[in-house]
Structure 1
């Protein structure tokens, strides 16, 4: 059903229940999900976050400039991406490519769109670090940006502990209802929090479908690759 997908993987997902640092079992699970998705025949790129290492929005807590804090956060995405690359290789994944928006020649290739497309077409798993190389954005925006640039069929937004989009916080409202499908405009009208507003608007403007699902649901990414309905699908009303 799909030729190419981009997965947005938060740093928190690598941290597991602790929310900070790294969890070996979770890393193995995530690597297995990426490998299984690629084995369906779909081309897979992964945008890796860094919130488990450092968050740029904590600049004031550390008494540093926000730009410097965001630079640290971007380096955190590289740490996570190298760790994920290592686990993918250890689990037998061949030809895993790490590309970064900021040049780090000893560790990764620079992100060049046409080169990334060529890697994907050859069947490589492509890991994307450093966001888009600019401060004042979370990895939500570059996840959408890369998906649009790479002409992905959809962006898989892997959430930590949430299996989709609800009409209220399910942790606080027992009767909260999960949506199977939503339109972009309905998400905005309801004030639902899916990702950064700027990232969501970019997805809407380019009619990029978004799958919001729980990363803890084993096999969810693979099921989406096979066209199954998992989590919440956000798309334009014309494509519904």
Structure 2
């Protein structure tokens, strides 16, 4: 059983089956999954994505530069995190803390590593928004970075609709094979798109285990936190 985990939730998971926007049932499901992990006794931090609001790689489509586009994306993570905080609280979670890499004092605390650690040690659920406050990154890199900074035992990489890492896209290739376990080098050698390469290399360099699993599977995150093998483990 793990002591402390970081969960990476994508904005797409909040959108549900739609490409953009918000889905109330999906939000409730995600909140319940986070609470279930917390109820196992594990300390939980959650890095929230913002792709359902805006993606930085769409800068050219909107006629703006990439830095501005990524700034909009970071603000999108705040919207999602506030939504998640509200739903967690509505479902009975206590001491839910929202921390942002860019100061937004009326809505959240600034991310300070030692303060985040203190919240975790006191049993709080810590939501982390704005990535790491810098452009040219998806939330893959900050999720690994925060997991390392907070001395997490592992990073749970939540996918929606995909139950692990495959040797081909399972939505397009019927014979695609799912891997139960992979080494960091195997992921690199096989060219598997687990996450952004810079994020994956950071995880490898710090020996951070990655659990890639389907967040739509009820109870999967809690089961992993209790020691079950679900999805794909990269270590």
Same fold (TM over 0.5): yes
TM-score with structure 1 setting the length: 0.97
What is the match of residue 29 of structure 2?
29
CA–CA distance in 2 between the matches of 1:153 and 1:116? Answer: 16
2: CA distance, partners of 1:190 / 1:73: 30
- Residue aligned with 2:58, SS: helix
| Alignment correspondent of 2:6 | 6
Which ranges of structure 2 fall in alignment gaps of 5 or more residues?
none
Residue number in structure 2 paired with 1:202: 202
Q: Which residue of 2 aligns with 1:80?
A: 80
Aligned to 1:153: 153
> In the TM superposition, what is the alpha-carbon distance from 1:19 to its structure 2 partner?
2.0
Q: How high is the TM-score relative to the length of structure 2?
A: 0.99
Cα drift, residue 85 of structure 1: 0.2
For 2:89 and 2:192, the matched residues in 1 are separated by 38
Query: Who is 2:129 aligned against?
Result: 129
Superposed CA deviations along residues 182-208 of structure 1, whole A, max 9, x for unmatched, are 000000000000000000000000000
Aligned ranges 1:141-180 → 2 under 5 Å: 141-180=141-180
Distance 2:12 2:174 in 1: 24
Return the alpha-carbon distance in structure 2 between the equivalents of residues 169 and 72 of structure 1: 30
Structure 1 partner of 2:64? 64
For 2:173 and 2:10, locate their aligned partners in 1 and report how far apart those are by CA, in whole Å. 25
- Superposed structure 1 runs of 4+ greater than 4 Å apart: none
Distance 2:126 2:110 in 1: 12
What is aligned with 2:41? Answer: 41
Q: How much has 1:160 moved relative to structure 2?
A: 1.5
Residue 52 (structure 1) shift = 0.1
In structure 1, what is the Cα distance between the partners aligned to 2:183 and 2:63? Answer: 41
Q: Which whole-Å deviations, capped at 9, do the CAs of 1:194-231 have from their partners, x for residues lacking one?
A: 00000000000000000000110010000001100000
Question: In the alignment, does 2:220 pair up with 1:223?
Answer: no
Q: Which residue of 1 aligns with 2:110?
A: 110
Partners of 2:191 and 2:56 in 1: CA distance: 24
User: Aligned with 1:157: secondary structure?
Assistant: strand
Partner of 1:17: helix, strand, or coil?
coil
For 2:5 and 2:39, how far apart are their aligned partners in 1?
13
RMSD: 0.4
Q: Distance in 1 between matches of 2:37 and 2:80?
A: 19
The separation in 2 between residues aligned to 1:19 and 1:3, in whole angstroms, is 34
The aligned length equals 235
Shift of 1:62: 0.2
Q: Which residue of 2 aligns with 1:238?
A: none
| Structure 1: segments with no counterpart, 5+ residues | 236-240
Number of the residue aligned with 1:94: 94
